[in-house]
Structure formats: structure tokens, C-alpha cells
Amino acid sequence: MIKPSDFRDPVLPAAVSANAWSGEDVDGAVPAAKSWGLRGVLPSVVKTLLPQAEADPADFRDERVGWGLVLPDNPDIPPEARARADDAPEPIRELLESRRPAARVLRHNVNPNEAVLSLRDYAIDKPIQISGSRPGSRDGDLPMYLLLYGGPDALPWELQYQLNANRRVGRLHLTGDALANYMTALLGNWSDSAARYDSPVVWAVDHGGDDITHLMRTAVAAGIATRIAADTDMPGGIFLDGSAATATHAQLLDALVDNSPALVATTSHGMTGPLGGGHEEELAANLGLLVDGLHATLDVEELLRRWKPDGAIWYAHACCSAGTSTRTGLLDLFPDDSRVARVLRGVGVVGPAVAPLPTALLGASRPARAFVGHVEPTFDWTLSSPFTGQPLTDSIVTAVYDRLCLGKPVGLAFDEPFRHIGELAAAHENAVGVFNQSLSPGSVTAAVYTKLAWLDRQSTVILGDPTVAIPLPTA
């Protein structure tokens, strides 16, 4: 705080004289001159000399943070209608109005060259750069929180990956009653939710040995469960540990029913079959569903018959748990006859799609707040270093426990895991540059590793509005 005494002026006289006369000279010392001189002015002096306090990154209603609705562009309606989101379903328009004035409508460009660089804001009829734009909801800003409304056929996964690098992004693709269910809960902030903060559920399949489920259990699920176990505000937390006993769907459903958790974290294989001609419909229905310790596939209808998500946030570390894409940068890494290549080609026939589990959870009669999962397979190289064995999942554990359980919005909670995308992409470019200069074998290894890790990490996505948060317990 700046004080009047901080201003030093060696020429300021210690006393003043007045041209008044009452039989003697009229003068006097002025020891409080500086305070008197600045009285009524000092607050504005302080304001101009110090920067404004930073915005709370969780407060999307602050115009310096902001919230935005991203829609596909629609040349069939005039620009002013695009600026108002007139073509969006009524529940989406209602959400938009509830978040004004700190809200903007942005459109994904139909021009592919522009789409890589910017989103269109028809309210000011200008493109807004995806990289480098000022955060907020003022004219020319790109809001920090962005909700993509539309499936990945209309708003590609690649757009969400790109935005994840510097914004907090979620996606909704629901329609009809499912969309109405989610919006009713969101607009009411799940006010009547019975989900319990004190009783999270962590479920980890572990097939042991070199199976990746063992690594996922150790690097992700056990890390989350250990922190929950030490938390006195979560005495009802349950860790269904597949390394101690076979992790089954029956156990998971019983725990969800008994605990009514606000937080669910699971690690397992995700279903990617049956593959081959004639099975496309069955594959789409099974895509990304959790596979338990008995290799059984989760029955979503049974799940929702017995348990209501009711405001829970679910993190599912499993292949294709969030969905699938027809575009993948991974296919050329593997031989055509390998099992990984067969899966990548096989799930691609489903097209760009959101998986059935998050679709069901977010559209339920008492819906989940958000679902965090993967669009591509996830690999062991991103869970622990293939060179040193060092665990590489602390940012995931921190996002799920330390940040979600501190009441951070889900988009903000996952800032750090998404930050790795840029780090790995930069490291990959550096490795390629070193190879081009020196043909170093080590740079080839680094290029392969960083590219796989980068593509793996970027396929993590949030489904649901990115501003939702687990409510903290009251004292």
C-alpha cells in the first residue's frame, strides 16, 4: 500500500505564511501536509500505480475470464442470427442467456484454412485467433471457458485438442430429452443432488504382469486412492483394487449404489470390438465401455437402472472411453498386421463419435456433471518413462484429487495434464531438428517417443460444461 510518507520532496517548506493580519503574523508548521494534499485523491493514485488484481480463474462470469459457446458455422442463416445462436436448441440458448453478459457465441469456420487459426465471432464480424487472443468476454476476446455444442462430426475432435492447449474446453453433443435433462441440472447447479463428497469410488482392473491394466492401476488409480485414504473429509471413500481381488462390474455397481459418489475414477481396458465387417452397429454400441477383471463389458442400461449419476464427475482411463475418430496420427507407427493397427482401423469405421457411456451418463434423468476420458488408445509410454521407469501421471492424479476435490471447475482442474501436450509437441520438434542437423540415433528415439506421448495425451477430452465443479462440504 502506498503511503503519503513514501513521497519525498526536499523543497517542500516546513511551514506556510498567510497574508492575513490579526495583530501578528499568521503562519504555521504543516507536519501533515502530504496527507492533507492527497486526501480524497490517494485512492485513485494507488489504483493508477498498481496493476488490477488478477481475475479468479474459476470465475467464468468475470469479463476477463469469460465463457463461450462454440457452434458449427451455418451459412444458411444470416450473420446476426449466427451471432445470437438462433440455430441452437432451446436449452442451449437458455444456457447462453443465463451466462450473459460474460458470454460469447463463436463459430467453427467452414473454411478449413481459417478453421485451423481462428473462430468467427459474428457479433463483431471478425475472426478470433485461437492462439494469442486476450482471454475474456469483451469484443475480440477468446473466453477461457468454451463449450463446444455438437458431435465430432460437426466440431472435430482436433478442434477440441487444439483449444485444450490454452483454454478450458468441454463438449456436449446431446439432443432431445437427454439435452433437456443435462441443461435443467446445469442451470439449477444440481441443487437437489444427493451425490456425496465424502464417498468417492475408485475402481481399477489389474490383470497383473506386463498387462497395461497393472500399470494404470499403479500409476493412476492407486495414486488417487492413496490421497483419498489420507483425507479425513472422505471417510467413505472406496478403492476397489483389482490387484487384491478381481475387479468386477458387480462390485463397481454396488459401490456406486451404496456410496452415491460425487467423484468416480476408473482404470481398465476399453472395449474396441467386435472388429470386422458386419459388426459396425455392435462395435458402436460397445465402444469404450469398461472391461472388468473377468473381461466382461459394462452394461450401461443396468448401470443406470441401479444408479443415478446425479452430479458426479467420472474420470475413465480406458481406450476410447470418450469416443473415436476417423483421423489418427498413430496408424503409421504400427505394422498393418499388428493388433494395434487392426484396432485403430477397426474403430475408425464407427466414424467420429462420442462413446455410449458418457452419452448415457450426461443425458440421464439425473445426469452426471462431466466425464473425462480418451478418444484414442492410451499407451504405457505416457504412464511411465520407457527409459527410466519414472511415473508420468502425477498431473492426472493431481487433477482428479487435488483440484477436482478442491472444488475447481473441471476445465481448470485439467489445465496441467493438457499443458503436457505443448511440452511434448515442442520436444518432438526439437528432436526432429536435432536429427536434421546431426542424424543422431538418440534424436530418432526422442522423436518417436515424444510424438506418441503427445498424440496420446492430446486425445484426453472433457465432455460436459467445463465450468462444472464438485461442491465442497459445508462446515
Q: How confident is the model at residue 32 (pLDDT cuts 50, 70, 90)?
A: low
Q: How confident is the model at residue 422 (pLDDT cuts 50, 70, 90)?
A: confident
Considering only residues 115 and 265, tell me which one the structure prediction assigns the higher pLDDT: 265
Considering only residues 431 and 309, tell me which one the structure prediction assigns the higher pLDDT: 309
Across 254-267, average pLDDT? 98
Q: How confident is the model at residue 283 (pLDDT cuts 50, 70, 90)?
A: very high
The whole-number pLDDT of residue 295 equals 96
Burial (CB < 10 A; 0-12, 13-18, 19+), residue 295, is exposed
pLDDT winner (highest mean) among 110-114, 404-408, 432-436: 404-408
Q: How confident is the model at residue 441 (pLDDT cuts 50, 70, 90)?
A: confident
Instruction: Reply yes or no on whether the pLDDT at 47 is more than 70.
Output: no
Q: How confident is the model at residue 339 (pLDDT cuts 50, 70, 90)?
A: confident
Instruction: Reply yes or no on whether the pLDDT at 43 is more than 60.
Output: no
Instruction: Reply yes or no on whether the pLDDT at 444 is more than 60.
Output: yes
Considering only residues 339 and 309, tell me which one the structure prediction assigns the higher pLDDT: 309
Considering only residues 349 and 153, tell me which one the structure prediction assigns the higher pLDDT: 153
The whole-number pLDDT of residue 351 equals 87
pLDDT tens profile 353-395:
999 999 999 999 999 999 999 998 888 988 999 889 999 999 9
Q: Where are the domains of the chain?
A: 4-49, 67-187, 201-412
Q: How confident is the model at residue 31 (pLDDT cuts 50, 70, 90)?
A: low
* Average pLDDT over all residues of the chain: 89
Across 444-467, average pLDDT? 91
Considering only residues 293 and 475, tell me which one the structure prediction assigns the higher pLDDT: 293
pLDDT tens profile 53-82:
899 999 999 999 999 999 999 999 999 999
The Cα 149–Cα 146 span in angstroms is 10
Instruction: Reply yes or no on whether the pLDDT at 46 is more than 50.
Output: no
Across 338-343, average pLDDT? 86
Instruction: Reply yes or no on whether the pLDDT at 116 is more than 90.
Output: no
Instruction: Reply yes or no on whether the pLDDT at 4 is more than 90.
Output: no
Instruction: Reply yes or no on whether the pLDDT at 190 is more than 60.
Output: yes
The 3-state secondary structure of the chain, one letter per residue: CCCHHHCCCCCCCCEEEEEEECCCEEEEECCCHHHHHHCCCHHHHHHHHCCCCCCCCCCCCCCCCCEEEEEECCCCCCHHHHHHCCCCCHHHHHHHHHCCCCEEEEEECCCHHHHCCEEEECCCCEEEECCCCCECCCCCCECCEEEEECCCCCCCHHHHHHHHCCCEEEEECCCHHHHHHHHHHHHCCCCCCCCECCCCEEEECCCCCCCHHHHHHHHHHHHHHHHHHCCCCCCCCEEEECCCCCCCHHHHHHHHHHHCECEEEEECEECCCCCCCCCHHHHHHHCCCEECCCCCECCHHHHHHHCCCCCCEEEEECCCCCEECCCCCCHHHCCCCCHHHHHHHHHHCCCCEECHHHHHHHCCCCCCCEEEEECCCCCHHHCECCCCCCECCHHHHHHHHHHHHHCCCHHHHCHHHHHHHHHHHHHHHHHHHHHHHHCCHHHHHHHHHHHHHHHHHHCEEEECCCCCCCCCCCC
The whole-number pLDDT of residue 219 equals 96
The whole-number pLDDT of residue 22 equals 47
The whole-number pLDDT of residue 45 equals 42
Range of weakest confidence among 161-165, 324-328, 459-463: 324-328
- C-alpha 6: how far from chain center: 46
Considering only residues 468 and 435, tell me which one the structure prediction assigns the higher pLDDT: 468
The whole-number pLDDT of residue 41 equals 42
Instruction: Reply yes or no on whether the pLDDT at 42 is more than 50.
Output: no
The whole-number pLDDT of residue 2 equals 43
pLDDT tens profile 302-337:
999 999 999 999 999 999 999 998 877 787 888 888
The whole-number pLDDT of residue 28 equals 65
